[in-house]
Structure 1
């Protein structure tokens, strides 16, 4: 029963995430079509990336990884009243810290923009707009962090639908802001700042009814001396670095890109959004679902179940991640032209974004593996190992950035592509080291049954790549956008059918995806 619930929960999260990602894709098409890839869009993306980066650090990243294991332990060992007290004290501490941070950032917005986008300093108009947008968007961090707190509670109690649906509201709000409200502003892109803030409130509100059903909608109280709060903070502080290395690396890309030609931030953003499609659909979904399960297994000292859960997650990750990475690499030009080339987003913008996507595509599998390997440590309340690996990964990203930018400069290739390639290389450093320590400590390893699986996955991916490559010359580059989109869909369907067909022909069966 528990095994089937885990699979059903993954499907719920994945389906809700799919809806969110589809709307997110529509959102990006609308934003880039309305505002293009230039000064205004660069300013908004920098302003939005700062609270979004901290959201993944504090909310979906370090806080969730520290809070869920402690909450799971309280569920197993203590009464509902003790759990309510933990929830009350934790929410009070979180609200206080984030409220203070929000006030400080709003007051110091110009300095924050200078820190995260130093290239804007010599462009006064872009700098001023980015500063005002940061003041509008930063309160989103407070609301979305409380949303993640509520989501962590619901996920620990097996309620995944509402937390997974919440991002849909952000996408709808931003689409409405761009299409409906932007023309009403003297500076149209300011509408996006208000849209982000409103979305944060809405995402929190939809969590509250289910919290009430669980009898965990309790008033926040500040008590930093509470045992559970102290443990969460102790786990959280180092985890801020360890769990969010990917986001730190992407943020460093934004810092470097702000120093490059105008449009570089937007081109990297378009590529990141496409690479996040498979990462969000499977990687984030499985990472979200397995953390409560791993935490429960650890609390019960059930090592067999712990290992089987990671093994099951790895099968799903590689099943999807390997072909997704290959397909995005092959179809990078096609994707950008079919989806984004409209309005203010030109053919050159599509080509520049495609370069970034090709460089970033290979890292998708690395990013996805991090999503399941890191929770294995956090469920065991081992923060030090991922932190050490995170530090190595960030320094590796910096070194790779310098190396690849130099190589791209020497061969006269757009420099933002070197930043994307550095992120890919750093993701494999991170994932590889996480697996090394899992293997060394006998927590998880790719056992003998994986040899056949790897052969099946690689043969199927190779067949898919061959078919997609053969279809590329027939893509209608100069046709209307709807024809390009239809052609893209056909190519994706044919590639998926080929991948699935070869997978079945080599002996792989759907039952191998069952947990355990």
Structure 2
């Protein structure tokens, strides 16, 4: 566990800075364009390449690329260099083609994702933004391939720190847009859209360049190779078929959610797709800082262990990863459930945003806080299947995901008042991942011969025993603040510092007394670093 902890700590540091600067970036975006029609148009256009690549890269890189590269490094006399060059060549060609096709089809894509009753002008604005944003597919994808190759060499720092540069670039663009642009979709100019769209894409380009330079520094030399016979790419292609099914099915789910959220925003301005998108980004913060770091460190090692037939050590690796993730995700989820509106009021009550719209985002975030634990465990469980090269099972589960989530989302859309639709969509997301987590646990346990369920359950029990009093303390601070004053950015900051800070301190102390070893390890690691 100590190796995973050290690797995860390096990645978590970079991811924490990345996510915190992402916090600032998201706040600046909301301040610059708001959560009305322009905000919904931008987020719909921005989310298409982001969600597509998130699913594609999470699936293809985790399920196919990392395990296959690891096997090529073990199998090939050159340590897998020729295979990596062929893979990078294929990635550059395919991703560039997808980006070009996306730009050419920007209009029908945006008509598909936005509300059906949007005016011609609104769809035109969304289309223009999409044309500027969809080239991110090529830059993001090539950079992520470089990051995957770095991960197989146990070089984790650059992939976690590169997004910081992306955020800094976009923050500069948003600062300029706030000065010269507008949040009114009826008044936005071509110059405004060019600044907003190309500026966002420039951030992804900078991120990709950092990863390419880092890959060059570890000795990788890109040489275009187009031959694919007897190279192992056929194995990767066969494995990728189900992964593309996984991606395609999840895109259907994303389309349903975006369509319903933009429709809700048209009926209740400020309670639409932007509110969903901003709450989802904040929900991803604790998952991105700790869970992604652990997953990234865990997958190459689990792939090697499974390739060697050492299932017992692979089970230990997974069990350790779940407990390490949970020791942070459990309190983070409960505190988000309590303090969600305080978080979003502090972040979003600026510029063209209102306190009321910021609080609404917080209510959506509260529901996502409850979903944080099942979502994170489900992502960890997927890595068991990926380490075996099994992409079929995750694809089937993604189909179940879409059916449950889309069905519940449609019920929410047609039965809830307009202002509560997006909150209902978040509840649909929560219920879906609770169900999927249970199914995935049973299937993964059968595949690897057990998942140390009793040990994991006992550890989670101690974590919740330490986290519930911490959440209660934060709730008491919030209630006291509400009795004294109204919700403002200043009062929210006080609540977060006092309630959130005291809650996390209480959790750490209680977990230490309850002998939660993962919390003790984190405290020891931090203490040793501070001592140095």
* Aligned-residue offset at 1:17: 0.4
Give the total of aligned pairs: 508
| 1:100 equivalent in alignment to 2:97 | yes
Contact 2:475 2:499 (C-alpha < 8 Å) held by counterparts: no
The answer to whether the aligner puts 1:197 opposite 2:195 as a matched pair is no
Cα distance change, pair 5–510 in 1 and its aligned pair in 2 (3 A): closer
1:234 and 2:238 correspond? yes
Contact kept in structure 1, 2:342 and 2:495, CA below 8 Å: no
Q: Is the 8 A contact 1:88 1:218 kept in 2?
A: yes
Given that 2:92 and 2:138 are in contact with CA atoms closer than 8 Å, whether structure 1 keeps it comes out as yes
1:274-320: per-residue Cα shift (whole Å, max 9, x none)? 11111111121111111111111112221122111100111012212
Conservation of the 8 A alpha-carbon contact between 1:245 and 1:394: yes
1:490 is displaced (CA, Å) by 2.0
SS at match of 1:362: helix
Q: State the distance in 1 between where 2:364 and 2:140 align.
A: 29
Contact kept, 8 Å, 1:361 with 1:424, in 2: the verdict is no
Query: Within the alignment, does 1:290 sit opposite 2:290 as a pair?
Result: no
Corresponding residue number in structure 2 for 1:57: 55
**Match status 1:418 vs 2:424:** yes
Q: Which residue of 1 aligns with 2:153?
A: 157
Q: The residue matched to 1:216 in structure 2 has which SS? A: coil
The 1:401/1:35 distance shift into structure 2, 3 A limit, reads same
Q: Counterpart in 2 of 1:358?
A: 366
CA–CA distance in structure 2, aligned partners of residues 463 and 23 of structure 1:
30
Cα RMSD between the aligned structures?
A: 2.3
Aligned to 1:440: 446
- Displacement of 1:406 in angstroms is 4.5
**2:11 match:** 13
The DSSP-based 3-state class of the residue aligned with 2:192 is coil
Unpaired runs of 5+ in structure 2?
182-188, 523-532
Asked whether 1:68 is paired with 2:66, we answer yes
Q: Match for residue 428 of structure 1?
A: 434
Corresponding residue for residue 337 of structure 2: 329
Is it true that 1:394 corresponds to 2:402 in the alignment?
A: yes
CA contact (8 A) 1:40 1:189 kept: no
Q: 1:133 offset after TM fit, Å? A: 0.7
Distance in 2, Cα, partners of 1:273 & 1:92 = 32
Report if aligned partners of 1:118, 1:258 keep a CA contact under 8 Å in 2: yes
User: What's the counterpart of residue 469 of structure 2?
Assistant: 463
| 1:245-260 equivalence runs, <5 A | 249-260=253-264
The verdict on how the C-alpha distance between 1:338 and 1:122 changes in structure 2, with shifts beyond 3 A counting, is closer
State the partner residue of 2:213: 209
* Corresponding residue of 1:493: 501
TM-score w.r.t. length of structure 1? 0.92
Distance in 1 between residues matched to 2:414 and 2:115, nearest whole Å = 20
Quick check: 146-155 or 280-289, which moved more?
Answer: 280-289
Q: CA separation in 1, counterparts of 2:461 and 2:52?
A: 39
How far off its partner does 1:407 sit? 4.8
State the partner residue of 2:86: 89
SS of the residue 2:330 aligns to: helix
Task: Give the one of 377, 381, 387 matched to 1:373.
Answer: 381
Q: 1:131 to 1:224 in 2, by over 3 A?
A: farther
SS at structure 1 position matched to 2:263: coil
d(CA) in 2 for partners of 1:18, 1:241: 32
Query: What's the offset of the Cα at 1:127?
Result: 1.0
Query: Post-superposition shift, 1:245?
Result: 7.1
1:326, distance to aligned residue in structure 2 (A): 1.2
